[in-house]
Structure 1
Amino acid sequence: MHTRKTSIARLAGGAVIAATTLAIALAGSGAATAAPPNGPNNGGNIPNGPTIDIQLLSFNDFHGNLEPPSGSSGRLNLPDGTNTDTLKPPGVGGVEYLATHLDQARVGHRYSLTVAAGDLIGASPLLSGAFHDEPSIEALNALHLDVSAVGNHEFDEGYVELQRMANGGCLDDGDGANNQNSCPDGSFAGADFDFLAANVVYEGTNETILPAYSIENIKGAKIGFIGMTLEETPDIVTAAGVAGLDFKDEVETANALVPVLKAQGVNAIVVLIHQGGTPPSSAAYNAACGNGAEIAANSPIIPIAKNLDPAIDLIVSGHTHAPYICNIKDPAGQDRLVTSASSFGRLYTDTNLTYDRRTSDIVRTSVTSANMLVTRNVDRDPVQTDLIAKYKVLVEPIASEVIGSITADLSNVGNAAGESPLGDLIADAQLADPSVVGAYATPQIAFMNPGGIRTSLTYSASSWGELPGQITYEEAFNVQPFNNYLVSLDLTGAEIKTLLVQQWTGANASQNKVLQVSEGFTYTYTGTTVTSVSLNGVPLDDNATYRIVTNNFLAGGGDGFSTFAQGGENVYYGGLDIDAFAAYLTANSPYAPTPLDRIIKN
C-alpha cells in the first residue's frame, strides 16, 4: 500500500531571497550563448568512498491519459525509420501499461524513486477531465510517484484547484455542472506524492503556493528535488488561473535553493523543470544528443541548463512533448544530463546513478539514462484497470452521447499556411455562439489558438459503439478539454493586423502559432509580413472597430498575443467553448470539411 507521505523539508517563505545573492555568485551571471549540446559522456567527481546505487524513473506531460492514447498521440518514431504503429500490438502509452513497465523496471533495483516534470493533469481526455482530473491523481498515486514539479497545465483551473489536487477535498460543483463532477464517490484524498512549485509565489511575497523542494532519504543517502514550471506560464494559461501569483526566474530560483539544501546536508540535487527543448521531429524515441537528437539552439532549456548551479547533478525536463537525453555543460564546464520522456505516458526515462556516502553526493560520471517505450505487449496493471473501469461507468452518460456527425476526418494539423480543417470548424462555432453577444454587437471574426485544439476528429473512430462519422461528446471534449470561456471584445483593424503579426514574432518567433479564423475573414502573408486582410471581401479599415470572439485564454493575452488584452474594449464573457463547439456540430451535421482558403501564404 502506497501511503501518503510528507516531504522531509519545506521551504520557508523568505529563503529564496535570502540565498539569491550567494546562488548567483555560485552560478555566474549573464546568459550563455545557446548552442546545440552534444557529447555522450558526463564529467564530474570520482567516487571516493562507500557507494549506493539508486534508480530514478521519470516521465512528464501525462495530461490525464489514462486510456491508451490513439492516433499520433499514441505514436513515436523508431530507430529504423518506422513508428510504433508497426509494433504488435501497435501504439504506445496507457496508464495500465505504464504501471506495469515501471514495476518491471524496478525489478533488481533495491532503491528506486519515481519523479515527474509537470503537466500531469490539465488538457486531459474526458475520462479524467470530467472529474476535475481526480482520476489521474489517483492513478499517479497507484504508480508510486514520489515527486513532481507543477507544469503550466496544472493551473488550468486555477492555483486553488491545484492546491486541492495536492491536498485533497471536494468541490461543490453541482454534481455534474458543466459536465464535470468532483468526488463522485464522496471523497478525494489528493496526491500521495509531493507537488513542487519553487518559482511560484503569492504576488508580492516570497511564499510559495506549494513546497519548493523535497528531500528523499534512502538509507541515509539524501537527494534533494527542486520542482519548477516555466517562468512564462502566465503567457500560456488563462489569466484568471494565475491571478495573484508571481512566477520567478527558473535559474535564480533553483540556484538560491542550493545553499538551502546544502545547509541540511544535501549535496545530491535534481531539478524537475517544466521547460524543455526541441529535437528534430524525425528523432527516434531513444536518440541521444550526438546521435540524432540534438535539440534546437533556441530551445529554452539550454540557457537554463547552462546556468544552473554546478552542484545540481541532473535535470528532468518536459513541456515540449519531445524525447531526448542530452548532455549540456554546467557553469563549471562539466557535462550534465538533461532528459525528457515525450508525453501522454508513451515513454519513461530510466536513470541510474551512484551516490557516494563520503561526499554525500551523486557521482556525475555514473549517471546513465535511457528512454524506454511503454509498449502494450505487457499485462495491464489490475489496479489501473479497475480505476479506469470505475470511471468509465461514471462518465458514460456524458461521454457516449452522440452530438453530431462528420463526412470525413477533420485534422487539427495545419497546411503550409497554418490553416486546419478542424480549426475552421471551431472558429466558425465560436462565431455562431449566441452567448457572446450580450448587450454588444454580434461578433464578426473569431480567433482560435492552434495549441488549444488538442486532437483531430476521426471519421472511423467509435469509442462507444457509435456509427462511423458520428461524434460523441467525449470526442468533442478531447478536442477542446480546457473548459475555457468564450469572450467577445472590440479591436480596431490596426490592432487585428498587429495581432496577426504576433503569430510569427516576439514570443512566437521560434515556434509560430497561426491563429485559426472564422469564415469570411481572410488574409495573405509573406514571411512575417501581412500583405492583405479582408472581411467578407472588404479590406480591413485600420481605424474601424470590429467585434471579435475568442477564448478567455487568448483574451487574457495568452500564447504571446498581447494585443487581445492591451487593445480589447467592451469585453463580454459568454459560455464554455466546448458547449459552443458541441452546439454548432449538432446544428450543422453532417459537417463536411470546407476549403482551406482563409489563410494564404505566399
Structure 2
Amino acid sequence: MTSRSFLRVALAGSVALGGLALSTVPADAGQAARTVPVRLLSLNDFHGHLEPPTGSSGRMVDENGATVEAGGAAYVAAHMKAHSDGNTIGVAQGDLIGATPLISAAYHDEPAVEFLGKVGVKVSAVGNHEFDEGYAELRRIMKGGCHPVDGCSPAGRWPGAQYDYVGANVLFKNPDERTDATEGLATTRQARQLLKEWGVPALPPVSVKWMNGVPIGFIGLVTQTTPGIVSADGIKDLKFVDEVKAANVASRLLTLLGVKAQVILMHEGDQVTAGQSPDACSALPGAGNRVATQAAAEIDLILSGHSHQAYRCTVKDPAGRDRLYSQGGSFGRVITQVDFRVDTRSRDVVRDTVTADNHVVTRTVAPDPEISAFVRTWKDRVSAVANRPVGKITADIANTAAPSGESALGNLIADSQLAATKQGGNAQIALMNPGGVRAPLSHAGSPAGEGDGVVTYGEAYETK
C-alpha cells in the first residue's frame, strides 16, 4: 500500500468532521456549559495472553495491597463488560501483539487481535512489538490478508483489525510519493502545510471517534527507541522521531480540524516503586513522564504503556494545568477506566471532571462464556504442537530476578544459547535479556497430561 493510501486512512475520521467540527455553538454567558460524559477503558501490553498468564506474570497487587491472580482473555472480557456503559470507547497503548504465547504467536497473532476487537477496542497506539515481524506484517494485521509465507490460519482469510492503529512519530525515511500523499487529505490548507513540513506518516497519526455528539481525538506514540529493540530489516524504510515533537504536531493537526478533546495513547512509560497499589502515583519520572509533562497543553490526558507497570498520576502540562498520566500493567491484568465530561460548546474536555481507576482483572468473576469458547477453539488448534515434549526438569525453574538481574531460568537460557552456538562456532559467552524471560518453567504437569517434570514446546515457547 502506498504512503498516499495510508495518509488517507490516517485522517479519514477527521476529514469526515467537515465544517461541523470547525463550527461552534454560540455560548450563552448566562448559562452553564452543557457537558456530555465519555468513558475510556484501556489495556496496554496485552502480548497475546489469551489464556491466564502464569507465575509472577499472572499476579497483581490490588488496591488493598493484596497479591491476587489476574488476567486471561475471558476475565478481561467479563471485566470490560462490567465497566462499560453507553459512553465507552475501548483504547489501548501498544504491544498488544508480539512476544506472545504460542496460542497466538502460531497464527501471527491474529487470534489476539480478533479478541481485542471482540471486547470493544477501537483505537490503539502501536508498540515496539507490533514491529517484531516488520512493517509489512503490521500493515497486513491492520488491513487484512493471509500471511505471505504461512498462508491463512484455520479461521480463513484474515479480515484485518477491527480497531485503528495509530503512530504519529513513525514516518517514512524517503517517501516516493510525498506530494501525492498529502494530496489525498481533504482538509484545510493549514493542515496540508503542517503535514508537508512534518513528513509522511507511515501510520495514521491520529484517530477521531465520536461519542455523545462530540469528537475525541486520539494521538498514537511509540517509544523512539524502537529501532534498537526490533529487527532492523523490517523497519528499514521507517524512522521513529521524538515523541513530544510528534505529539505536538498531531495536536496542532487535531486543533486545525476542530477536535479539541485530545488523548495521547503512548507506548512509553516509567518504572515504579514495587508493591504499590495500581492506583498509586508510584511512577518514577523517566521517559514517559517527559512526554506527559512536555506534550502540548491542548492534550488532555496521557495513557501510557511499555514499562509493564501500573500507576495513576496527575502531572502538570506546560500551561500548569493538571493532566492525567497513567498505565495499566501488562498481560491483561489491569483495565484502566477514565471518565470525563466534554463541553458541547467548546468541544473540549473539562479537566476537573477527569477521574481514573485501575481495575485489577481478577479471576474471581465468572469468565465470559463467548470468549472462553473462543480461546478454547484456538487452544485446540495449536495443541498438537504446544503439547509436544521437548525436555525434562527436576524442579521449578523460576524467572524471578535477583538484584543483579539474574534468574535461574535466565541463566539456563544463556547456558543453552552458549552450548548451541559452540557447535560449529566459536562462541565464548552468551547473554540473556532479563525482560525477555517472560514465564517460569513449572515441574508440575499441566492439564494437557504430559506429566510432572515434562517440558512441552508450548511451555518452553512461553518463557521467551
Distance 1:381 1:81 in 2: 26
**SS state at 2:239 partner:** strand
Match of 2:10 in 1: 10
Distance change (3 Å), C-alpha of 1:152 and 1:387 = same
Give CA deviations for 1:454-502 in whole Å, capped at 9, x if unaligned: 111111241411211110000000012xxxxxxxxxxxxxxxxxxxxxx
**SS state at 1:429 partner:** helix
**SS state at 2:431 partner:** strand
Match of 1:557 in 2: none
2:445 aligned with 1:455, yes or no? no
Greater Cα shift, 156-165 or 198-207: 198-207
**SS state at 1:316 partner:** strand
Match of 2:114 in 1: 138
2:284 aligned with 1:296, yes or no? yes
Correspondent of 2:80 among 86, 96, 102: 102
Distance 1:228 1:210 in 2: 10
What amino acid maps onto 1:102 in structure 2? M
Give CA deviations for 1:57-93 in whole Å, capped at 9, x if unaligned: 1110100000111111111113444311xxxxxx111
Match of 1:122 in 2: 98
Distance 1:337 1:151 in 2: 20
In the TM superposition, 1:319-358 aligns within 5 A as 319-358=306-345
Correspondent of 2:356 among 357, 369, 380: 369
- Aligned 8 A contact 1:9 1:215 in 2: no
Distance 2:51 2:42 in 1: 19
Distance 1:434 1:334 in 2: 55
Moved over 4 A (4+): 6-9
Tell which has more relative contact order, 1 or 2 (C-alpha 8 A, sep 6+): 2
Match of 1:191 in 2: 161
What amino acid maps onto 2:431 in structure 1? F
Match of 1:559 in 2: none
In the TM superposition, 1:77-92 aligns within 5 A as 77-84=61-68, 91-92=69-70
Identity %: 43
Match of 1:568 in 2: none
Distance 2:35 2:426 in 1: 70
- Aligned 8 A contact 1:65 1:125 in 2: yes
In the TM superposition, 1:344-493 aligns within 5 A as 344-433=331-420, 437=424, 441-480=425-464
Report which of the two structures shows the higher radius of gyration computed on alpha carbons: 1
Match of 2:132 in 1: 156
Distance change (3 Å), C-alpha of 1:216 and 1:8 = farther
**SS state at 1:424 partner:** helix
Distance 2:7 2:331 in 1: 27
Give CA deviations for 1:297-329 in whole Å, capped at 9, x if unaligned: 3x2111111111110001110111111110110
State the number of aligned residues.
Answer: 418
Distance 2:86 2:430 in 1: 56
Correspondent of 1:59 among 39, 43, 65: 43
Distance 2:430 2:70 in 1: 36
Distance 2:326 2:375 in 1: 29
- Aligned 8 A contact 1:61 1:342 in 2: yes
The gaps in structure 1 that reach 5 residues or longer are: 1-5, 13-46, 85-90, 176-181, 481-602
Give CA deviations for 1:113-156 in whole Å, capped at 9, x if unaligned: 01001110111111101111010011011011110000011111
Distance 2:246 2:48 in 1: 28
**SS state at 2:208 partner:** strand
- Aligned 8 A contact 2:57 2:438 in 1: no
Deviation at 1:8, TM superposition (A): 9.7
Distance change (3 Å), C-alpha of 1:105 and 1:419 = closer
Distance change (3 Å), C-alpha of 1:278 and 1:233 = same
**SS state at 2:90 partner:** strand
Distance 2:445 2:288 in 1: 37
Q: CA RMSD in A?
A: 2.0
Distance 1:463 1:391 in 2: 16
When normalised by structure 1's length, the TM-score is 0.67
What amino acid maps onto 1:74 in structure 2? G
